[in-house]
Structure 1
Amino acid sequence: MKLSDLGEFGLIHRIAKQFAYDDGSRNTGIGDDCAVIAQDDERFSLVTTDMLIEDRHFLLSRIKAWELGHKSLAVNLSDIAAMGGKPQYAFLSLGLPGHMELNWLDEFFLGVKNLCSHSQTQLLGGDTTRSPERLVINFMIIGTVGVSHIKRRSMAQVGDILCVTDTLGDSIGGLHLLSVDADLDSDAQYLINRHHQPWPHLEEGQWLAHSPAVHAMMDVSDGVASDIHRIMGQASVGARIQVDQVPISDTLGRVGQKFGWATHELALGGGEDYCLMLTVNPRDFKTLAHDFWEHFGRPLYPIGEIVPPNEGLSYWQNGQAIHFLGEGFDHFK
């Protein structure tokens, strides 16, 4: 069997089986957005790492240096947000081709510095090495969360309402537009900016973590169609997604109509939205959604519900079950 046959998450599961610890500690590793390490009786440390590789995750010719610095940090901070945590420290490792311009690197670090400042994260070190051809970027982030506030994927319960904290699909729309050989209008540029400049929902994650109505939480990095399987697997539940309730921005709607995109399918199967997906006790959803609107000025969008595991994953539109082919992003397929 080849890696391309196994896929990213098959590989992760294969590795996780070799490193399952039953030592009585409260530490947990593979299976959530962050590793969780017990500090004391009141707090956990959160640790996450993510790698970006030129021509796989970004095109140097299509992204500004400061945008790449911002994005490479943002995608890691999003993992901290997904568990209701607060970021503290960052470590950055770079594989650098010898032809990199110093001015470009200065601009890259400006993007990193600005987001570090915004998120109150300290860059404390890392590593550098020469890369033979392509730029490689790897961040590790350490954060913290209260023991009573941490949100895990395994905490989803049957009957929960499945929600997201923002519209979906803008980023994948922007990615598609990067290959368009034509003059792009302001709508198109907005979507490209959403792809290049994601903002992790740190404040939203910390706010939601304080609500007992919120059960499970994760970020939308590979697309809802893929990411929902992570919750289903960890919590041993199924999910029913209402396709006609999936929120898309007016901008994506206009651009999608212009290019003939199936925008709701794009929104579900795309990735890199970096908003949060969560499950909420149905009795408390209306109150939570109202308070979320009051605090953040936008809706908490319901997109489905958690169902018993024997029902698996299904997609519904206008009250009818439909066939959906989108699988989300997989690094090895």
Structure 2
Amino acid sequence: MPLKKLGEDAFIKGLAERFKSRHPRLLKGIGDDTSVTAQAGGRALLATTDILVEGTHFRRDYTPAYLLGKKSLSVSLSDIAAMGGSPLFFLVSIALPPDIGKKFLDELYRGLADVSSRWGCRLAGGNTARTPDGIMVSTTVFGEAAEDEIVYRKGARSGDVIFVTGTLGSSALGLKVLGDHGPGSLKRGPYKGSVARHLDPEPRLKAGRALAESRLATAMMDISDGLALDLKRLCLESRKAAAVYLSSIPISEELKRYGEKTGRSPRLDFALTGGEDYELLFTSPEENIPRLSALSRKLSLPFTPIGKILSGRARRTVTVIGEDGSPFVLKRLGFEHF
């Protein structure tokens, strides 16, 4: 069966079945933002890996090498944030054609170094290889957390409120603007903030750690492939369903202006299914709202309630309630490679 017919999630589910035999210290393997391995003293090692492939995740003509380096590490750090962990060190492997200049590589590693320095995540090694065409950057990040503070995708409970950090949809708008107007849109134009969100995402490490330490989140993951698709994944791990209110999804002023100018729905077309926001999606009981509000103010980061967790007996895993109050079915939930 072709992968495009099978689908990415079904392919990964098959891998989990094939490799279901586990080491006794492996607390979580496939199925969450990172793997979790038990360590001495009640600590756990977190590990995650990502790959950015030219032509799939970025285009060289509008992606500065410096920002490619920053993004390649930031997206893996976002997985550590989603588990409530702190980063330790990382590996980076790069495959590239032989005609790439040294300046490009210097800038790419400068981007990696700046993100590494900011978050205290040190380079521990890596690999380089030659490709006939196109660049690939793979990062593997290791982090840690107290075993009893880790926040998995599987902990959502019926009645929990669904929250997101920050705003959604800006990265998807930034990608569209880059495709339409090229690299100049990063420094000029009405949507340069959204372009920056796409090329240089911010891993929510402080928020993830604070939510884990305070034990306010029952389930959590980062939003990489679109809110609707990632919420479905969280629900499946938790064996629950969810209702999301379209009008509650937070969006930026730039995205609002784009919707007003073009007539497109910024929440439906970008925030709900766009992907690469790298914000945190988490659930928490309603009685935690006052404490979450205080934490949000402390972090200077919005925590916005967007829906509710339902019992797993709901007809659909994720139901979207439109701005008129009626539920509707999404044709596409988010980004899948296959």
TM range (shorter): over 0.9
Distance in 2 separating the partners of 1:26 and 1:67: 34
Match for residue 319 of structure 2? 314
Cα RMSD for the two superposed structures = 1.5
Match for residue 63 of structure 2? 63
What amino acid is aligned across from residue 329 of structure 1 in structure 2? F
Match for residue 327 of structure 1? 333
Gaps spanning 5+ residues in structure 2: where? none
> CA offset at residue 15 of structure 1?
0.6
Distance in 2 separating the partners of 1:53 and 1:213: 36
The answer to whether the aligner puts 1:284 opposite 2:288 as a matched pair is yes
Distance in 2 separating the partners of 1:86 and 1:56: 29
Distance verdict in 2 for CA 1:212–1:95, change over 3 Å: same
1:1-333 to structure 2, matched below 5 A, reads: 1-21=1-21, 24-181=24-181, 184=185, 185-265=188-268, 266-288=270-292, 290-311=293-314, 312-317=317-322, 318-332=324-338
What amino acid is aligned across from residue 115 of structure 1 in structure 2? V
Distance in 2 separating the partners of 1:179 and 1:304: 32
Distance verdict in 2 for CA 1:23–1:135, change over 3 Å: closer
What amino acid is aligned across from residue 178 of structure 1 in structure 2? L
Distance verdict in 2 for CA 1:102–1:23, change over 3 Å: closer
> CA offset at residue 23 of structure 1?
5.6
Provide TM-score, normalisation by structure 2: 0.94
Distance in 1 separating the partners of 2:50 and 2:137: 8
> CA offset at residue 240 of structure 1?
0.5
* Residues 41 and 147 in structure 1, CA contact (< 8 A), matched pair in contact too: no
Distance in 1 separating the partners of 2:97 and 2:221: 34
Q: Deviation per CA, 1:266-291: give whole Å up to 9, x if none.
A: 21100000010000011112321x21
> CA offset at residue 52 of structure 1?
0.8
| Aligned length in residues | 331
Distance in 2 separating the partners of 1:26 and 1:55: 35
* Residues 220 and 280 in structure 2, CA contact (< 8 A), matched pair in contact too: yes
What amino acid is aligned across from residue 43 of structure 1 in structure 2? R
Distance in 2 separating the partners of 1:204 and 1:23: 31
> CA offset at residue 24 of structure 1?
4.7
What amino acid is aligned across from residue 276 of structure 1 in structure 2? L
* Residues 37 and 44 in structure 1, CA contact (< 8 A), matched pair in contact too: yes
Gaps spanning 5+ residues in structure 1: where? none
Q: Deviation per CA, 1:132-180: give whole Å up to 9, x if none.
A: 1010110000100111210000111111100001100000000011121
> CA offset at residue 22 of structure 1?
5.3
* Residues 88 and 120 in structure 1, CA contact (< 8 A), matched pair in contact too: yes
Q: Deviation per CA, 1:28-49: give whole Å up to 9, x if none.
A: 2001000000012411000000
> CA offset at residue 260 of structure 1?
3.0
Please say which of residues 277-286 and 113-122 is displaced more in the overlay. 277-286
* Residues 269 and 329 in structure 1, CA contact (< 8 A), matched pair in contact too: yes
> CA offset at residue 25 of structure 1?
4.0
* Residues 258 and 266 in structure 2, CA contact (< 8 A), matched pair in contact too: no
